[in-house]
């Protein structure tokens, strides 16, 4: 083979350097700021304070509650839709999924503005139900992200499995619970990862519906506005730990499913 | 009832997803300043949207930023994916893990961490737009990488080898043989990068110059009390964006169908 100055492998270097500089480095800097005080001395005060302060713990609990509600409702709404699109009456219309995914491409603040106007019309004043409105707006925002992975998992499912179940006398709920649901677990898991984390951190939705209670993301926002880099960093670091834990758990489930 | 059950589910969810936008679009063509109050037909919102300097500047800024970020991401992500595809397993594995970080990470954390690193630690001036472009690129490039990689795996590698055997330079072979085969991945990566940048609020807030606004940051500020004419002009913006998205999706769907049909004949 002809020798040349050019080696395909070298093409990976620019992106590798970019990742180190602008993905890994910033996270290390955040860890550094999170575990030092204003003079730059190593300190766990901020970390300990987060878990002992009632206000910050309340925020953590509130964001978990919101995230659980949003994720469960998204799952309940998205599963039948994904099933009908993949295996039901709409299975032959390939481009129909597109209709459900399309809203994802419209700017989310504009979409929430639209929903907000409707909710204002129905409720009169958004301030009466901050929690409900937050959950509705987040479900509206994230639903396509749940439908997509579920649809992908359900299309791969072999239809003869379902037919075999019916032929052997299983009722529709039995087929769903014993065959379809277990086989679509990878889709459910990746759908949950797409929705749960944004629901814990997307504080813009709360701001837009005048929900003045904080979630984890709002804490970063308020420390950022107060130029409190150390406390902002410790929240980011705690969120990173959550994300890491989440990723490890989902990876475990995924590899177990594939095996 | 059972016969219609599936249709009912599908159309109810569709109504939930689309009614707000459609109703807002309808009201954007009226004089009303709130939904529910029907007034006369008017194009005033569209006139405001396309004449008010503040709005024009914001839209132009958002789109320019998206195009710049998407172009950098596509170049970086595509050559990154090609390089990593041909690299040793260990190196490729490292890149894939690092590539996954911005994908799973919360945008708030990505934006905040780059702000801390570039602006607080390195004292880079926000007004240079460098932190903003770098941060959005860090968010978008992994998605380009992820849409190019499957195409590389599907690619027929013997064509590249054949080109080399016939005396082609590796760099030229890459351009003439590999690039055309992964082009669909590059195009969808570009579109993903554009929409991610257009949608982004968090990374922009933490890294943008104070006087610069994207659609997201502008809309969020407008909800904290904006002039009514601006508020309703944003309805017009929603309608415009809705129409553009529907158009792009339809065109790319038609393209994809044509490609599939063409592929069958070969």
Best residue in B116, B145, B167, B182 for a mutation probing chain A (most A CBs within 10 Å): B116
Q: How confident is the model at residue B260, as a pLDDT?
A: 64
**Enclosing H/E stretch for B134:** helix B130-154
pLDDT digits (tens, 9 = 90+) for B221-231: 988 877 888 88
Is the pLDDT reported for residue B158 higher than 90? no
ipTM, two decimals, is 0.89
Query: CA-CA distance, A39 to A48, in Å (whole number)?
Result: 18
Q: Which residue has the higher pLDDT, A71 or B175?
A: A71
Within 10 Å of residue B22's Cβ, how many Cβ atoms? 13
The predicted-structure confidence for A169-200, as pLDDT tens digits, reads as follows 888 888 888 889 988 999 999 999 999 999 99
For residues A1-28, average pLDDT: 84
Q: Read off the pLDDT of residues B4-23 as tens digits, 9 standing for 90 and up.
A: 888 899 999 999 999 999 99
Q: What is the mean pLDDT of residues A122-144?
A: 92
From B221, B237, B213, B206, select the one nearest B120 (Cα to Cα): B206
The domain at B58-224 falls in which architecture? Orthogonal Bundle (1.10)
- As a whole number of angstroms, the distance between CA B236 and CA B217 comes to 17
Delimit the domains of chain B by residue range: 58-224
Q: What was the pLDDT predicted at A1? A: 47
Nearest to B101 among A23, A140, A201 (CB): A23
Inter-chain Cβ pairs, chain A and chain B, closer than 8 A: 251
- Under the banding of pLDDT at 50, 70 and 90, the label for residue A77 is very high
For residue B265, pLDDT beyond 70: no
String of DSSP letters for chain A: ----S--GGGGHHHHHHHHIIIIIHHHHHHHHHHTB-TTS-B--HHHHHHHH-HHHHHHHHHHHHHHHHHHHHHHHHHHHHHHHHHTSTTTT-TTHHHHHHGGGGS-HHHHHHHHHHHHHHHHS-GGG-HHHHHHHHHHHHHHHHHHHHHHHHHHHS-HHHHHHHHHTT--HHHHIIIIIHHHTHHHHHHHHHHHHHHHHH-HHHHHHTT--S--HHHHHHHHHHTT-HHHHHHHHHHHHHHHHHHHHHHHHHHHHHH-
Determine the 3-state secondary structure of B152 from DSSP. helix
Q: What is the pLDDT of residue A171?
A: 87
Nearest to B246 among A81, A102, A121 (CB): A102
pLDDT tens-digit series, residues B32-57: 887 877 778 889 999 999 999 999 99
Tell me which chain A residues have a C-beta less than 8 angstroms from the C-beta of B170. 2, 4, 6-8
- The answer to whether A162 touches A175, Cβ cutoff 8 Å, is yes
- What pLDDT, on a 0 to 100 scale, did the predictor assign at position A4? 54
Phi and psi, residue B203, nearest 5°? -65, -40
Angstroms from A175 CA to nearest CA on chain B: 17
pLDDT of residue A113: 92
CA distance A164 to A151: 21
């Amino acid at each position: 083979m002809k020798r040349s100055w050019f080696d395909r492998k070298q093409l990976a270097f620019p992106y590798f350097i970019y990742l180190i500089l602008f993905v890994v480095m910033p996270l290390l800097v955040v860890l550094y700021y999170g575990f030092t005080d204003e003079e730059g001395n190593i300190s766990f005060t901020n970390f300990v304070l987060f878990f002992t302060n009632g206000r910050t713990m309340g925020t953590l609990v509130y964001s978990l509650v919101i995230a659980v509600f949003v994720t469960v409702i998204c799952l309940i709404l998205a599963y039948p839709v994904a099933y009908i699109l993949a295996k039901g009456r709409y299975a032959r219309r390939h481009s129909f999924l597109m209709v459900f995914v399309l809203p994802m491409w419209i700017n989310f603040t504009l979409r929430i503005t639209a929903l907000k106007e409707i909710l204002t019309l129905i409720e009169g004043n958004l301030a009466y139900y901050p929690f409900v409105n937050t959950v509705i707006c987040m479900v509206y925002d994230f639903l396509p992200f749940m439908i997509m992975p579920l649809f992908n998992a359900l299309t791969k499912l072999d239809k003869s499995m379902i037919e075999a179940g019916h032929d052997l006398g299983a009722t529709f709920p039995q087929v769903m619970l014993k065959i379809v649901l277990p086989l679509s677990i990878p889709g459910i898991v990746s759908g949950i990862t797409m929705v749960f984390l944004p629901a814990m951190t997307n504080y813009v939705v709360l701001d837009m519906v005048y929900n003045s209670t904080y979630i984890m993301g709002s804490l970063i926002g308020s420390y950022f506005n107060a130029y409190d880099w150390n406390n902002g960093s410790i929240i980011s670091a705690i969120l990173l730990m959550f994300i890491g834990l989440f990723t490890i758990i989902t990876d475990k489930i995924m590899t177990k499913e594939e095996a | 009832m059972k016969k219609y059950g599936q249709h009912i589910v599908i159309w109810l969810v569709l109504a939930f997803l689309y009614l707000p936008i459609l109703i807002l679009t309808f009201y954007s063509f009226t004089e009303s300043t709130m939904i529910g109050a029907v007034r006369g037909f008017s194009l005033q919102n569209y006139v405001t949207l396309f004449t008010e300097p503040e709005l024009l500047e914001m839209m132009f800024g958002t789109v320019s930023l998206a195009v710049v970020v998407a172009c950098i991401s596509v170049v970086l992500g595509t050559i990154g994916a090609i390089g990593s595809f041909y690299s040793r397993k260990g190196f490729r594995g490292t890149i894939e893990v690092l590539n996954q970080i911005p994908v799973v990470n919360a945008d708030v954390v990505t934006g905040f961490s780059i702000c801390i690193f570039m602006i607080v630690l390195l004292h880079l001036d926000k007004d240079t737009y460098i932190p903003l472009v770098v941060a959005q690129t860090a968010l978008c490039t992994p998605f380009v990488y992820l849409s190019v990689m499957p195409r590389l795996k599907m690619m027929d590698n013997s064509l590249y080898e054949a080109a080399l055997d016939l005396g082609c330079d590796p760099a030229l072979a890459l351009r003439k043989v590999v690039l055309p085969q992964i082009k669909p991945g590059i195009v969808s990566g570009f579109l993903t990068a554009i929409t991610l940048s257009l949608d982004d609020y968090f990374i922009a807030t933490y890294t943008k110059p104070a006087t610069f606004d994207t659609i997201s940051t502008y809309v969020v500020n407008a909800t904290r009390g904006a002039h009514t004419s601006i508020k309703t002009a944003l309805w017009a913006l929603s309608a415009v964006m809705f129409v553009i998205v529907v158009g792009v999706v339809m065109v790319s769907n038609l393209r994809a169908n044509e490609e599939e049909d063409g592929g069958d004949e070969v």
